Amino acid sequence: MNIKSQKDFFSGLLFMCTGVAFAWGASDYTIGNGARMGPGYFPLVLGILLAVLGAMLTFKALVVETMDGDPIGRLAWKPLFFIIAANLVFGALLGGLAPIKLPAMGLVAAIYALTFIASLAGDAFKFKEILVLASVLALVSYLAFILLLKLPFLVWPAFITA
């Protein structure tokens, strides 16, 4: 079997693996049915759709001829590192990290950290633009999650609000 597009082939495999993982993880929860969905219904359907999409993409990569074979380029380590680090720092700041005695810093601080760290993944770092983006994200997140949805997130660091 000849792979005609490497990018589509490996993207399809990634989608299929992710879809199967979601569907498998959903099997631990009550699935329910279309009228009375359980907590596992959405992840199961999402996993199945993702796996089907991946299968179609993989099939296309094996059948449709591309100009140069769509080779996969080098792995972009810098963006990968900073995007993953930004998400880990966001989680640690939002909920705190007990093993290192890091208190929960709240939603606003976590969003600012997420935005600034993720911006390091790009080629240009424009402080003013990133500050505006972080401020807008923090404001919209506050409005959506705290005021509208009334989720019990800590907004500011515990030592400020206590």
pTM (two decimals) = 0.68
Contact 86, 80 (CB under 8 A): no
Residue 130 has pLDDT above 70, yes or no: yes
CA atoms within 13 A on the CB side of 136: 6
Instruction: Tell me the pLDDT tens digit for each residue of 21-53.
Output: 999 988 888 888 778 888 888 889 999 999 999
